[in-house]
Every structure is written in structure tokens, then in C-alpha cells.
Structure 1
């Protein structure tokens, strides 16, 4: 028996509502501690409508009704061409990405609204024992028209942002289920764009972690009140989450180079990093627990693709960015510790080329050269660092002599 708790209080039983379990797949999970027990709930479906055939003769992308506001056109640009063109590695297809919502079936939407009107008030507005509303369930199943009808009904009683047992609103469920159209519908109806779950994860955190570019577009497009620097309870911004998740997929792709699906997923996650930066996320933000920037996070994992992208950005204070410390360690220190990583030398060279200072010492008074591995490879890299350090010292002396 399913028991629902109404927003107005009280409990209602629904013995006549069949419950079926049908989990839906989420994105690639990270092994990072932050992503243990990762967000990806499965939902029972006691509220699913009776399956029936709907006419598709009347298709509309912008729909209106006498009982609800008109919805915005679903074609939304990520960013202006002039803005995107200033960022490296952003291909033409990514410059002009749009969300094109599938056509809305007006008859199905009418049927959904009719179903919600006929439904018992408590059924339409209650939360079950897991905190799920009918909107959570329709959203998780991707039933767009029914989600809209339920959202309209719940908005009337102040339940649009009701949270289930893991703290997720219907908007967060739509993000995790990779439903960009429903995300945009809920935002158009007034869902809280900065709502967070019990781990402090906002819609941006979840979209960035799972690597869902279309969902990220729906959140970022025309939403000036979205908090790009929101911190989850691990002290990370959405940009940090995107960087960590990209590194996880890059590692998996390196272990299975023939898996084109992993390669495509890595590209999607990199595009999420790009989109967040274009939207205004700060490269200089440091996660609270370790003070790492996205560059530290990428270097630590030996993620050459992300390091190359970040260092290719035109940043006025790039030298300061490269030499930022995370608990005393610069990115060069972290690169020096990548013993046996095939990308170690290339990452070191990239950092040096962008102003990395090999003379900086960490809290243990070690320079990056002191952290290199032993053996021929370590000696060769040490020579490279010392040569750059000597070159920098020579330039400084020449500048002082000139003065």
C-alpha cells in the first residue's frame, strides 16, 4: 500500500494504485569520494497514466491554455557567436548549439491536464513516503506533457519545489534524468533554479557531473539568476564538478580506447566545462577543502586534454593562475608528482610555457624538481625544470641591470 502525505498535512492511502519499479540509467559514475552514492534515484511509478494512443495531428512547440501561462520557445542559443569565438577548442557546431524541443502534442497535453483535473486533490498534490510527488515521477519517466500538467497543479499549492527524500526537487530530477525539455518547462513555470539536494548539489552541479550539455544549455540560457559559483557541501562549484567528471571519463577512455561511446562522453563533458566558463564561471575559484582550482584538479589526474584547454584560454593573469597554490602546491608540483604518467612531461612543458615558476617552494620547502621520480626520466625532467628556472633568473638579472 502506498501512503501519501499531503502538503496540507495528513496521510492518504492508495491501495488501488499499482506500483512498478523501473530504474533508469544515469551517466558514468565517478570514483571520486564526492560522487560515492552518486545522484541518480530510481522512482516507483504509481501515478503513470494509462497508456493510450494520442493523435499527433496537432503538434505545437509553443503552447497556451486558458488555465496556464504561455511557454517560451524551446529554441535557445547557448551563447552569442562573438562570445564563443574568443574561446579555444570550441568548434563551430558548439558555437551555435541550440536546444530544439521535440514538438509538443497538444492533445496529449490536454489529456494530461484533464487527468489532473479529474484526479483527487490529495493524489495530485501529495508526497509519498519517499517524498516523491506526482511531478517527480512524471519527470523521472520523461512524460513531458504530464509533468507540465502536474507542475501547473503543484504550483497552485506552492509545491513546485517540493523535495523528495534525497532533497531533490522535480527540477533536479529532470536534470539527473537528462530531460532538457522538462528542465526548461519547469524553469518557465518558476521552479527554483538554485535549489539544492541533501548534498548541496544544484542543477548546475548535477548537469556538470553527468555531462549533459543540452540540460546545461537549458539551465544557462536566459537565466541571469543562476548561481555559477554555488558550493555543494564538499565546497565545489559546478566547474570543479565538471573537471573531476571529465577526468574520470578520460581515464576510462584511455583504458578502453576502442570505446567510441566513452570518447563521445568525454567530449560532452569537456563541452560542459567550456559552457560554464563562457557563462562566466571563474577559473580562479578554489574548492574549499583543498584549495584546488580546475587546473590543479586536471593536472593531478594527468588529464592532458583538459590541461591543454585551460591553458589555451586567453587570461590576462594567466601566470598568476598557473602559479596559484593549493595547500602550498602549485600545478607544477602536482605535475612533478605524476610518476609514470605518460602525459607528465607534456603537462610540465605546457605549464612552463604558460608561466609556471619552477622556483616556487611548497609548505615542505620543496621545489617541483624535488618531487620528480628517480631514474633517467626524472633526471631529464629535472634538467628541463632547472634550465627554465635558470632562464627565468637570467631574465630577472638582465632586467635589474637594465634598470
Structure 2
């Protein structure tokens, strides 16, 4: 395994207490990836490399271990690789020997920490051990996603529960913090239709009427965009404000125009203020309404920061 020394173990990604999302433009965000080390190591090589690292649980007295300084060309540490390859025992040994050590928060070239990778690979045991060992849950990857964002995006109830239970100190800011696309955890859970996560987030204090930063849509707007009547009903039952407008002046009911789901239309019609049921005159053309009917991937492509 081609490795080099980590020059700055203390380097940390931004967190909620000292920085916000990067400004200037929307950064391109790929799907969650955890394959940065897969091409560099075969299974047999991985086992031999771990043996050579000699992660010895008896060496508690040593502050610096050689394996803490090893990284691949993609920035993955041995802990990253152990999580990626589901080498659970090796990962647990390294975590045990690294309680409250900066090693736990080293990020790879995608700015993923071990905690990000444990959530992406759906390994709740490692998520719990990492959090209890001092892994910082506030750190964000190169898309601005914390581990909690990823759990909400993937619908991982187990990882979501562990993160929220073990991070009470930061929970309010973690729940509300937006990624680089302007989505907080509630927006991600809504976009992906995870009703149980939506319910849990609101119960934990998430503001149900928070607007995402690109076009001002609330979770209710997003539920209508996705034509998800069960989610619409859930959000209404949880107290979502039907009269809240996005940045274009549209309520959630306005977004039902030109769409076929009558259940959603009826649900929102009954609760929307009478004066807000008609579309704004300048936006009543059929051609204008086509702009509202965007796919999930296109929701925010026309919004640019820094202008």
C-alpha cells in the first residue's frame, strides 16, 4: 500500500461553531461515495497490510502509532479502509486505541471522516463506537453533509437514532444546519420520502417551516413537488404552515396546479387561506407553470449564489 505521512493530524473540517457553508457558488456534489480505497487494495492485500500495521491493543502507553500516520493516495487512513471493507474488528481496535485522538476526525480527499463512512456503509456499531470515542459529528464532507445529513438522505433509522442520542449537545444546530445545496436534515428526509425521519426530526425540534436556501421551499412544498400525499398529510398533521410562500411567492397549494394528484390538492385547498388559493396573475399561464414542474435533480439548477 503506497502511503505517505499525514502532515496535519489536527486539521479539521469546518463546524457549526466557527464557519458556515462556502459562499460564491454552488459546489457540484456527487452521490455519497466510499470507494476511494477500493481500487488501491485487494482483499488479501488489505489483510496483510493490517497485519503489518500491528494494531496492538496492549500498546496503550504509546501516544503515536505508525498506522495513524498512514494514508492512501486518496487520503484514506487505515480506519477509513477498515470501515469501507467492513473489517469490523480492525476498525474497533483502532477506535479503542484512539479515544479523543485527532486521528478519528481525519478526512479523506472527499472530506469524509470515519463517521461519514460508517453511516454510508450502514454500520451502526461503528457509528456508536466512533461517537463515544470522540468523533466530531459536526464535520462536513465536500458537499456540506454531516453524518446526520447522510443518515437522513439514506433513510438510515439506526444511524439517525445513534447520532441524535449521542449528540444532544449539538443537536439543535445539527438538525437545522444546511448543506451546500441549502438543504437541512428535514429537507433531505422530505425529498427522499422518509416519513418516520420527518416525524422524528420535528419531534427533536426541527422547524417544520424552514425554507431551503435556494428557492425558499419548505418541506411541504417539497412534498407537493414529489407528489407524495402521505408526506403531505404527515406534515399537515405536524403543523406545517400551508400559507408559507417560497421565494417566488408560491404556496404549497399553488404547486398543485398542473399536477394530477387530487388527494394532495384537496388536502391543501381546505387549509390554505382563500386569498392564497389563486395563482399570482403574472404566473397563471400554462407555460409559466411548466417552470414549477421540475424533477428532483433540477429543483435548484437555475439558482446561483454570489450574484
| Cα distance per residue 1:320-366 (max 9 Å; x no partner) | x101001211011101131xx3xx2111111123x212422655545
CA distance in 1 between counterparts of 2:258 and 2:61 reads 63
1:174 shift after superposition = 0.5
CA distance in 2 between counterparts of 1:372 and 1:130 reads 45
CA distance in 1 between counterparts of 2:175 and 2:108 reads 24
Give yes or no for the alignment of 1:129 onto 2:73. yes
CA distance in 1 between counterparts of 2:198 and 2:89 reads 31
Q: Residues 365, 215 of structure 1: CA spacing in aligned structure 2 closer, same or farther, 3 A cutoff?
A: same
| Cα distance per residue 1:354-381 (max 9 Å; x no partner) | x2124226555457999899xxxxxxxx
CA distance in 2 between counterparts of 1:200 and 1:275 reads 22
Which residue of 2 is the match for residue 294 of structure 1? 219
TM-score by length of 1: 0.57
Which stretches in structure 1 are left out of the alignment for 5+ residues?
10-32, 52-110, 247-268, 374-403
TM-score by length of 2: 0.74
Which residue of 2 is the match for residue 184 of structure 1? 128
Give yes or no for the alignment of 1:351 onto 2:268. yes
Contact kept in structure 2, 1:299 and 1:347, CA below 8 Å: yes
Give yes or no for the alignment of 1:206 onto 2:122. no
| Cα distance per residue 1:288-331 (max 9 Å; x no partner) | 00100000000012111111111122x3xx5xx10100121101
Contact kept in structure 2, 1:333 and 1:371, CA below 8 Å: no
| Cα distance per residue 1:67-115 (max 9 Å; x no partner) | xxxxxxxxxxxxxxxxxxxxxxxxxxxxxxxxxxxxxxxxxxxx86369
Which stretches in structure 2 are left out of the alignment for 5+ residues?
10-25, 50-54, 291-307
Q: 2:186 aligns with which of 219, 239, 264?
A: 239
Q: Residues 334, 49 of structure 1: CA spacing in aligned structure 2 closer, same or farther, 3 A cutoff?
A: same
Contact kept in structure 2, 1:7 and 1:159, CA below 8 Å: no
Contact kept in structure 1, 2:155 and 2:189, CA below 8 Å: yes
CA distance in 1 between counterparts of 2:253 and 2:208 reads 17
Which residue of 2 is the match for residue 332 of structure 1? 253
1:193 shift after superposition = 1.0
Contact kept in structure 1, 2:105 and 2:135, CA below 8 Å: yes
| Cα distance per residue 1:164-220 (max 9 Å; x no partner) | 010100001111111111111000001101111011001111001111111111111
Q: Residues 193, 175 of structure 1: CA spacing in aligned structure 2 closer, same or farther, 3 A cutoff?
A: same
Contact kept in structure 2, 1:125 and 1:153, CA below 8 Å: no
CA distance in 2 between counterparts of 1:333 and 1:306 reads 17
| Cα distance per residue 1:13-45 (max 9 Å; x no partner) | xxxxxxxxxxxxxxxxxxxx9996201221334
CA distance in 1 between counterparts of 2:280 and 2:98 reads 55
1:50 shift after superposition = 5.6
Give yes or no for the alignment of 1:322 onto 2:219. no
Give yes or no for the alignment of 1:311 onto 2:304. no
Aligned length: 259
Q: Residues 193, 36 of structure 1: CA spacing in aligned structure 2 closer, same or farther, 3 A cutoff?
A: closer
Please state whether the residue corresponding to 1:228 is helix, strand or coil.
helix
Q: List 4+ stretches of structure 1 deviating above 4 A.
A: 33-36, 114-118, 154-157, 361-373
CA distance in 2 between counterparts of 1:366 and 1:3 reads 58
1:271 shift after superposition = 1.8
Q: Residues 292, 160 of structure 1: CA spacing in aligned structure 2 closer, same or farther, 3 A cutoff?
A: same
CA distance in 2 between counterparts of 1:134 and 1:279 reads 35
CA distance in 2 between counterparts of 1:333 and 1:281 reads 24
- More contact order relative to length (CA 8 Å, sep ≥ 6): 2
Please state whether the residue corresponding to 1:192 is helix, strand or coil.
coil
Contact kept in structure 2, 1:183 and 1:215, CA below 8 Å: yes
Aligned counterparts, 1:62-141, within 5 A? 113=57, 121-141=65-85
Which residue of 1 is the match for residue 204 of structure 2? 279
CA distance in 1 between counterparts of 2:56 and 2:47 reads 8
Contact kept in structure 2, 1:336 and 1:369, CA below 8 Å: no
